[in-house]
Amino acid sequence: MTDPARRRGRCGVLPAVLFAALVSFDGRLRAQDPEPEPERETEAPVPAEAPAKPEPVVAIRAGTLHPVNGPEIKDGVIVIRGERIVAVGPASAVEIPAGAEVLEYPQAHAYPGLVDPLSQAFAPRSGDGIADAGGEMALALDASDERSRALVSSGVTTAYVASRSANVWRGQGVLLHLGRDGPTPFQGHAGAGVHLKLSAQDGPSHALARIERLAGLGTEFEQLEAYEKTFTEHATKLADYEKKFTAWIEWHKQKNGKPASGEAQATPRGGAADAGAQGAPRGEGAPRGGRSGRRGPGGERPPGGENPAPQNPAPQNPTPQNPTPATPTPTNPAQTPNPQAPNPQAPNPQTPAATPAPAEEKPPERPQYPPQPPRDPAKDALIALRDGKLALFVEVDRAEEVTRALELARQHGVKRLVLELATRAADAVAAIAEAGVPVVVAGSELPPIQELGEGVERRPIAALLAERLVPIAIGSASVERARHLPSIAAEAVGAGVPEDVALRALTLDAAELLGVARDCGSLEPGKLGDVVLTSAPLLASESRVLRVLSAGRTIHEAR
């Protein structure tokens, strides 16, 4: 109760929660990315005292280990040093380090922390209002302790939360790791995917309305070319500006014999560094950065570098984590005074005192800094989809919608597609399997009986997909259901999903689909110490969660 993070969570002070999540998070929860992003590692530095303290070591000895990525291990041991697993194996083969805290559960079963890819646990109760691809669920979270405890008590340690509004575009979801201090975003995974809703339960259901909606989506992707072109052109203009500015400086140097004070280190405002980043909106960090990215280096720039001139607005670089210039630049513009900015120590080269050029030679015209085209987070998100930085999650219901989603992804080059629900899409299973698209299901419920006629497929979509070896993940889809995630998976097994597939659907397959399999989803050395101990096999009726560890720390213990 005295934990300040918890107090903030209860009060629902979202900015504080997000700040704590993004800033105080120590950066050690490094998640899997499609491409390594070393810059992100430096975002949240490890606290200075961390290396000085010896990392705590916890050893869990359980009757049966279920690593998920391999066969079960009788009388097994998991050793966790700090936050990460360092050893997994039979007790006879794994040495428990001296001084380790040993948790003895001789009758229990140990599993990796469960991953809920369809969580609604921290979604705001009053709706999130996200209506485009650029909106971020991370900014609308309601991270209450009560919900976190409910999830953790059922063994969930990773939850992916996205908007479930009736809008077609539902913005970007947020991946949360549930720890002792409540939910915190996975490092580098503020948004694992962009969400699109093609199912029509509570949206327009008429065929013409659906066609119109799909046509609109296609147009949005088609507009990307023009959008990117503005940045390419801007980059060209910046390069031209830099060239002309250098010539302008050189002219004044030659006339004066030496550059005027303050001009010696002057470089074109913005410079090619900006040109490189802005000219490539698909560039690293542009999609991920989202709104946070829009604070840009302008926020990091010294006040003197800001240019208040309205005709020459300060460049907004959406890639704060990636200052690497695409083209060579003389110096970092952020560290150089802007020649157009008012600077008492730097005489303006346009003033007669600062530019004593000979009257007979006309000075070159000073180049004007090209205004930066405005960024559009929604379009940046679509670019990220096309480039595989983010996955496209599409909620579908019927086979027709599955077909549309597959077409959309194919036509517009979306590299990572994930389908959600697909409850009535039995006829599209072959197409899904052929496309190799994973599916997040909410269990094994069939459509209403009234919709099921004779001769209609009677097995749930989860079983049909599993039969075709399509990777599935099982999500809760509601706060209440999250408490029963293992039972929901057990029911899927009863409906025809093989037991090992169901277990993977709760753990490793869900983690892979979300792009965090490097950190969670199985009991493997190197992964986070997320462990669930149960009284019986996870999917058995009497199975109760005895203890849950998140990143090596106990966050739930049955009374």
Partner 1 sequence: MTRTRLVWAIAAAASAVSAQDPAATPATTVVEATRVVLAAGEALDGDQARIALRDGKVVAVGREIAPETLARAQRVRLPAGAVVVPGFVALRDQLDSAADLAESIDAFTPELRAAEAFDPFDRVLPWRARSGVTATVLAPNSLNTFAGIASLVKWDGERGSVAAADGYLLLALVESSLSRERYPTSRMGAADLVRGAFAEAADPLLGIGPEYAVLREVKDGGRRVAIHASTHAELTGAIDLARELGLSPVLLDAAEIENCIERLKGTSLSVALRPLDWGSRTAALQAPAQLAAAGVRFSFAGATGHALRRSASLACKHGLDRRTALDAITRVPAEQAGFGDRIGMLRVGRDADFVVFDGDPIDLTTRLLETWVDGRRVATTPGTSR
Looking at 64-72, 220-228, 407-415, 486-494, which segment touches partner 1 (CB under 8 A)?
A: 486-494
Looking at 194-202, 332-340, 429-437, 496-504, which segment touches partner 1 (CB under 8 A)?
A: 496-504
Q: Choose among 186, 353, 385: nearest CA to 260.
A: 353
Looking at 75-83, 232-240, 369-377, 495-503, which segment touches partner 1 (CB under 8 A)?
A: 495-503
Can you tell me which of 299, 494, 500, 558 binds partner 1, judged by CB under 8 A? 494
Can you tell me which of 449, 455, 526, 559 binds partner 1, judged by CB under 8 A? 449
Looking at 248-256, 263-271, 413-421, 492-500, which segment touches partner 1 (CB under 8 A)?
A: 492-500
Can you tell me which of 292, 348, 368, 478 binds partner 1, judged by CB under 8 A? 478
Q: Which is nearer to partner 1, 234 or 481 (CB)?
A: 481
> Phi, psi at residue 400, to the nearest 5°?
-60, -40
Does the footprint of partner 1 cover residue 447 (CB under 8 A)?
A: no
Looking at 280-288, 395-403, 426-434, 452-460, which segment touches partner 1 (CB under 8 A)?
A: 452-460
Nearest-angstrom CA–CA distance, 356 and 202: 72
Strands (E), 82-181: 84-90, 101-112, 114-119, 156-161, 169-172, 174-179
Does the footprint of partner 1 cover residue 539 (CB under 8 A)?
A: yes
Does the footprint of partner 1 cover residue 125 (CB under 8 A)?
A: no
Burial of 195 (0-12, 13-18, 19+ CB in 10 A): buried
Spell out the residues 6+ positions from residue 410 whose beta carbon is closer than 8 angstroms to its own: none
Q: Which is nearer to partner 1, 20 or 426 (CB)?
A: 426
Looking at 38-46, 282-290, 418-426, 448-456, which segment touches partner 1 (CB under 8 A)?
A: 448-456
Q: Choose among 502, 110, 33, 10: nearest CA to 284.
A: 33
Can you tell me which of 331, 544, 557, 558 binds partner 1, judged by CB under 8 A? 544
Site for partner 1 in 162-181 (CB under 8 A): none
Looking at 217-225, 326-334, 397-405, 445-453, which segment touches partner 1 (CB under 8 A)?
A: 445-453
CB contact at 8 A, 507 and 111? yes
Does the footprint of partner 1 cover residue 506 (CB under 8 A)?
A: no
* Strands 391-398 vs 417-424: parallel, antiparallel or unpaired: parallel
Does the footprint of partner 1 cover residue 531 (CB under 8 A)?
A: no
Does the footprint of partner 1 cover residue 491 (CB under 8 A)?
A: yes
Q: Choose among 142, 92, 85: nearest CA to 119.
A: 142
Nearest-angstrom CA–CA distance, 398 and 413: 23
Q: How far is the CB of 155 from partner 1 (least distance, A)?
A: 13
CB atoms within 10 A of CB 506: 31
Does the footprint of partner 1 cover residue 463 (CB under 8 A)?
A: yes
Does the footprint of partner 1 cover residue 151 (CB under 8 A)?
A: no
Q: Which is nearer to partner 1, 386 or 481 (CB)?
A: 481
Q: How far is the CB of 429 from partner 1 (least distance, A)?
A: 13
H or E segment and range at residue 212: helix 207-256
Burial of 292 (0-12, 13-18, 19+ CB in 10 A): middle
- DSSP summary character for residue 332: -
- DSSP summary character for residue 60: E
Q: How far is the CB of 144 from partner 1 (least distance, A)?
A: 17
Q: Is the dihedral of CA 68, 461, 173, 533 positive or negative?
A: negative
Can you tell me which of 347, 403, 540, 553 binds partner 1, judged by CB under 8 A? 540
For residue 554, give Cα distances in angstroms to 90, 154, 181, 245. Answer: 22, 14, 11, 60
* Residues lying near partner 1 in the complex (CB under 8 A): 449-450, 452-453, 457-459, 463, 467, 478, 480-481, 483-484, 487-488, 490-491, 493-496, 499, 502, 539-544
